[in-house]
Amino acid sequence: MEATLIWSNKTKDKDGFPVEEEHSVDIYVEEKSATRMEFYEAMRAGVEVKLVLETRQEDFELSAHEEDESKAYARKVQYEGYMYDIVRTRQGKQRSRSYVGDDMSFQTMGFDELEKELMALGDIADVAPAMLEAAAPILKEELQSQVQQAANKGYATGDLARSIKANKPGENHLGHYVSVTAKGKDRKGIRNNEKLAYLNYGTSKQNARPVISKAMKNSEKKCLDTMQEKFNEVTG
């Protein structure tokens, strides 16, 4: 399976001001199960392991960079449409095992207290989708705004921002979720979601503009308030 390692480092722009650049590299990974020892080690460290991804050592080395005058590696990975924190890495002679947790996708964006209340209800199948569906338009509009600002160079058509849509809530092994993506293709046949990735993570010819993380940060409080209101409405 394919995954994308993501990291950022601090540099200076042409005027000497500090800026943070986001970098990424695509690699191949194999999803593994955590061993019993790894599971208990993570628990003792206060880490909840969501996935274990294994990749070739040389592929993981592609994310190596200097941070505070020491060698560092990617701290995030995008896998099957979700963004995860890399919470621990074990390097062998030829393979690297990364333990990823703290899902950065929309469904767990600071929702700790709500999650506890939902779990207390037992069956959340009837509650979570309604909460996510109520909040999704807020994130969609904020992402559209961030994309429009970042892409506006005087000749932008606004097509990329308008292509951003919220999908219907779904459920997988991680729980309930909702995603916001760029749909369709532009006038030249290029996939809009691909263009969104180029804008967010940058390329060899353009700096990264982290519109996704900005949108999530800016919309978080309003999303939480909206989800809480829907939670109260549904549960009475």
Quote the number of domains for the chain: 2
The band of 195, judged by pLDDT with boundaries at 50, 70 and 90, is confident
The pLDDT, as a whole number, for residue 99 is: 46
CA 62/CA 55 separation, integer angstroms: 11
Same structural domain, 86 and 117: no
Structural domain that includes position 24:
2-101
Same structural domain, 122 and 87: no
pLDDT digits (tens, 9 = 90+) for 35-89: 655 555 555 555 566 678 888 877 888 888 887 778 888 888 888 777 787 877 7
| Prediction pTM value | 0.53
Q: Which of 41, 71, 101 is the last residue of a domain?
A: 101
Same structural domain, 110 and 95: no
Q: Which of 74, 101, 128 is the last residue of a domain?
A: 101
